[in-house]
Amino acid sequence: MATAVEQIGLFPLGVVLFPGTYLPLHIYEPRYRQLIGECLSSRLPFGINLLDEGDLHLIGCTAEVEGIVRRYDDGRLDIVVVGRRRYVLQSFDDQSKPYFVGTIEYIEDRPDGAARLESYRHCVTLYNALVERVFPNPDRLKLPTDAIPEIKGSTPSFFMAQKAGLKLVEKQVVLSLQSENERLEFIAQHLAELLPRLDRAEELYRIARTDGYLTPDRQL
């Protein structure tokens, strides 16, 4: 489902931001320092689209600055952002501002896209097994198996996608799907293939190396 159209500043990056995800960013280029400064002063979001090997993916997620971790004397910033709403990039302007300005249309899940309990239980059982094996504080990451939780600003699939060992292109698929049930099934299939490979040290290293998200707060 698509909703209203508006314009926002864009920050193309080699990451996928999900709704409800917390992500640290180091802002050093002058054009993006200007973008973040304008967003802070006007309390506006900006957009993050995956830029992968020169390919700009059209479905992105708005980001709001959650906090400033450090200001450097030369103007650089360390910030934490949180993902809010998904959108489709309709067009962009690279002339009016030093950074890209995108015309976006927000998207939401389809009305028939709610999760089924059996799909959730199957996915979360595999997910909990993964975080038990890989991460040092699994209790902060695990989700309940008896009922589908409500997660403020997010969904169980987006919450699990942060720490599920997905590759960039797989994260982009999850962001693009407009059904919670389809996202859960996609993640479950990925986890079913991944878990048997965890005894390989290089697989554990790959998951840790590509995990740039902060430990999420479920805010149930």
Domains of the chain by residue range: 2-107, 117-209
Average per-residue pLDDT in the chain?
A: 91
- The predicted structure's pLDDT at residue 201: 66
Quote the pLDDT of residue 209. 67
54: left (phi over 0), alpha (psi -120 to 50) or beta: left
What distance in Å separates the CA atoms of residue 134 and residue 138, rounded to the nearest whole number? 8
* CATH architecture of structural domain 2-107: Roll (2.30)
- pLDDT over 70 at 123, yes or no: yes
86, β-bridge pairs: 61
Q: Tokens for 114?
A: 């709610």
pLDDT tens track for 161-213:
999 999 999 999 999 999 999 999 999 999 999 998 887 766 776 776 667 78
Q: DSSP character for 209?
A: H
* pLDDT, tens digit (0-9, with 9 covering 90-100), for 73-104: 999 999 999 999 999 999 989 899 999 999 99
Residue matched to tokens 């009305």: 111
Q: Which pTM does this prediction carry?
A: 0.91
The dihedral through the CA atoms of 15, 178, 81, 103 has a sign that is positive
Are the C-beta atoms of residues 104 and 87 closer than 8 Å to each other?
yes
pLDDT of residue 220: 40
147 burial via Cβ count (<10 Å: 0-12, 13-18, 19+): exposed
Q: Where are the beta strands (DSSP E) in 44-125?
A: 46-48, 51-52, 55-56, 59-71, 77-93, 101-107
- 46-79 pLDDT, tens per residue? 999 999 988 999 999 999 999 999 999 999 999 9
Share of the chain above pLDDT 70, in %: 93
